[in-house]
């Protein structure tokens, strides 16, 4: 199998470009360039044309080999798709339509070119499913850990983007998906090794390895006017809830009785010797959304979730106790919620 050293930078870029084009054309029904792309890959910079009356939303994420992805757990295609979903989740939290991406890669010279093309195809295919395409990037040689960095641009109607700062006391709290499953999948893979690859853990492993986009739900919800604030919870539900509360100047109550039962997470907690709520609330890789919802529009929010086939649970409410997050037990006990979100630097030595 040829390596980057053997084919060279220009040929590697050309092959990646063809992979992006194939993936994008398949999702867009054969459209060659993509709406808004005046000039794509092949020049010093891409030329893009935002739609009139739109604001641009920009996000970026980087994956470092050995920390955000490991070759034994992910195929190259899955690694590329997962990087795409990390960025798509941020745009979903802003109710932004994904449009254009820039991919930068730090790779060793012995990296297999065919595996790199597979990674590019997986990334481009995941982006194209939500209407975005790769329009440029960069490749650099490294001697240590490899890394991948994606910048994704999206659009929202001018002044209509969701932020963390719009929530009000009395709003309801809702969360998509099943928080904690990705964290459980990662821990199962780390501790059980090959034994975690069996069918009994497939749902949790897939939650970690194959996240789902929430862009379609976000855009559907944006039409209802139900959402007052939103945040992606990939760093952990409790920590990101605290960030939303700080930005909005509100407090929150999470009610255990409102959490939907998750037998998969409970079984993983028992196997791992970890409280399932620690998995659900603590640091995670769940590319899900936490939403502040106008209580008068709860039904519209639930209908949007049904229309997009998205699991959605109402798990609490917001109040006037600024920056105070309280956990309400099933026995009505109340205690501060102190679980922290993921921190790249305090976790660096763990």
Q: 58 with 97: CB under 8 angstroms?
A: no
Is 225 marked as a binding-site residue?
A: no
Pick the closest to residue 124 from 14, 26, 7, 232 (CA basis): 26
Is 137 marked as a binding-site residue?
A: yes
Cα–Cα dist 173/163, whole Å: 15
Is 285 marked as a binding-site residue?
A: yes
Question: CA geometry: angle at 265 spanning 261 and 268, to 5°?
Answer: 145
Is 68 marked as a binding-site residue?
A: yes
Residue 333 burial (CB count, 10 A): 9
Strand order in the sheet with 325-328: 227-232, 289-293, 172-176, 312-319, 251-255, 325-328, 334-336
CA dihedral sign, ordered 108, 21, 17, 112: positive
Is 20 marked as a binding-site residue?
A: no
Q: How many residues does the chain have?
A: 350
Cα–Cα dist 45/151, whole Å: 14
Is 262 marked as a binding-site residue?
A: no
Q: What is the DSSP string of 308-350?
A: TT--EEEEEEEESSTT-EEEEPTTS-EEE-------TTTTTT-
Is 130 marked as a binding-site residue?
A: no
Distances (CA, A) of 99 to 16, 96, 163, 215, 232: 19, 9, 19, 12, 19
Q: 78 with 174: CB under 8 angstroms?
A: no
Is 331 marked as a binding-site residue?
A: no
Is 234 marked as a binding-site residue?
A: yes
Q: Cα Rg for the chain, rounded, in angstroms?
A: 21
Is 61 marked as a binding-site residue?
A: yes
Is 114 marked as a binding-site residue?
A: no
Is 59 marked as a binding-site residue?
A: yes
The answer for 36, left when phi > 0, alpha when psi is -120 to 50, beta otherwise, is: left
Q: Which tokens hold the place of 231? A: 């945040």
Binding residues: 44, 59-61, 68, 90, 137-138, 164, 232, 234-235, 285, 342
Binding residues for substrate: 68, 285, 342
Binding residues for ATP: 137-138, 164, 234
Binding residues for Mg(2+): 44, 59-61, 90, 138, 232, 235
């Amino acid at each position: 199998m040829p390596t980057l050293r053997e084919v060279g930078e220009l040929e590697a870029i050309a092959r990646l470009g063809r992979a992006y084009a194939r993936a994008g054309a398949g999702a867009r029904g054969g459209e060659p360039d993509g709406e808004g792309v005046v000039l794509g890959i092949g020049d010093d910079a891409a030329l893009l044309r935002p739609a009139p009356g739109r604001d641009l939303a920009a996000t970026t994420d980087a994956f470092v080999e050995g920390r955000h992805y490991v070759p034994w757990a992910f195929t190259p295609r899955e690694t590329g798709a997962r990087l795409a979903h990390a960025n798509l989740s941020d745009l979903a939290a802003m109710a932004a339509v994904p449009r254009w991406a820039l991919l930068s890669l730090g790779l060793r010279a012995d990296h297999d070119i065919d595996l790199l093309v597979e990674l590019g195809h997986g990334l481009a295919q995941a982006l194209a499913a939500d209407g975005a395409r790769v329009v440029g990037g960069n490749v650099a040689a490294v001697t240590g850990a490899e890394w991948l960095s994606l910048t994704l641009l999206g659009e929202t109607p001018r002044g209509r983007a969701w932020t963390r700062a719009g929530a009000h006391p009395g709003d309801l709290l809702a969360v998509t998906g099943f928080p904690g499953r990705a964290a459980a999948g990662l821990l199962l893979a780390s501790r059980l090794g090959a034994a975690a690859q069996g069918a009994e853990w497939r749902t949790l492993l897939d939650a970690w390895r194959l996240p789902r986009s929430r862009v379609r739900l976000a855009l559907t919800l944006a039409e209802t006017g139900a959402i007052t604030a939103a945040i992606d919870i990939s760093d952990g539900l409790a920590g990101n809830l605290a960030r939303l509360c700080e930005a909005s100047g509100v407090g929150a109550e999470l009610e255990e009785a409102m959490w939907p039962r998750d037998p998969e997470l409970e079984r993983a907690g028992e196997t791992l010797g970890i409280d399932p709520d620690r998995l659900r609330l603590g640091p995670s890789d769940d590319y899900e959304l936490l939403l502040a919802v106008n209580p008068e529009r709860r039904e519209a929010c639930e209908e949007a979730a049904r229309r997009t086939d998205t699991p959605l649970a109402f798990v609490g409410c917001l109040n006037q106790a600024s920056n105070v997050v309280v956990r309400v037990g099933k026995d009505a006990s109340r205690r501060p919620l102190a679980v922290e979100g993921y921190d790249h630097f305090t976790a660096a030595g763990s």
